[in-house]
Homo-oligomer: A and B are copies of this chain.
Amino acid sequence: MTTPAAFAATAILLAEPARAAMLHALLGGESLTAGELARVAGIGAPAASAHLARLAEGGLVAVHPQGRHRYHRLASEEVAAMLETLGGLTEAVAPARRWPHGEAFRAARLCYDHLAGRLGVALHAGLAGRGWIIPAAGGWAATPAGEAGLARLGVDLAAARGARRFACDCMDWSERRAHLAGGLGREIAACCLRQHWVTRLPAEREGDPLARRRLRLTPEGARRLGETLGVAA
């Protein structure tokens, strides 16, 4: 059985606003320098340094020195999944009484800047299954066939390449399987939204922070993604 204070050890690392802001910034999957993280947390370099040391010691972030910069990223997919879970649960817990979000949320949503839920997982499987992307160092690379196919769909590959990571896995907390993050994940989501293949669902309640993430696959989107990548509605 879990020891009485088991959660406290890690929870205390998440409970500090500055650390929470840093972890949130890292959820995109990028590696950020200590200075960048200090800025997003709104604190000075010394404080950021101390926080990052604690997060690293707690096993939540991995450090990765490079020249005079020190890059930080989340230590593992499990940490990312835990943060997304806790973030979701935080919102689920507070207004627990009336919260029937269930199905639509699991079907399709935004995970930060890319597609998640069953749609995100199906896209990932479709891209890999058709050989449009193949495993590469630190994530995935696009094959020539993939580049052609993605360009035909309207995905801005140049923009995707501009990101720190072109394509990498992101654990989907409802499906427990990877969906696609990184520059490609972001551009695919942008492409789908731009062409109205997915649309944002209206908020069920005023100010529901979760509502902005819920998506619906349109008939046109289901047709295009289905015939090119085998994604089912």
Using a CB–CB distance below 8 Å, which chain A residues touch chain B? 1-12, 14-17, 19-21, 23-25, 27, 58-60, 75-76, 78-79, 82-96, 110, 112, 174, 176, 209, 212-213
Contact = CB atoms under 8 A, between A and B. Distances in A.
A185 to B, nearest CB: 14
Given A11-B15, A94-B9, A1 B176 contact: no
Contact of A12 (B15, B76, B82, B95): B15
A76 B88 contact: no
A121 to B, nearest CB: 13
B58 A10 contact: no
Residue from A16, A24, A88, A93 with most neighbouring chain B CB atoms (10 Å): A93
A91 B6 contact: yes
A20 to B, nearest CB: 4
29 contacts: A1-B112, A1-B209, A2-B24, A2-B27, A2-B91, A4-B24, A5-B17, A6-B91, A6-B209, A7-B24, A7-B83, A7-B86, A7-B87, A8-B17, A8-B19, A9-B90, A11-B11, A11-B15, A59-B93, A59-B94, A59-B95, A60-B93, A75-B96, A79-B93, A82-B85, A85-B85, A85-B89, A86-B86, A174-B176
Contact of A11 (B86, B91, B213): B86
Nearest to A9: B90
B110 A1 contact: yes
Contact of A93 (B23, B75, B89, B213): B75
Contacts of A93: 10, 58-60, 75-76, 78-79, 82
A110 B19 CA distance: 33
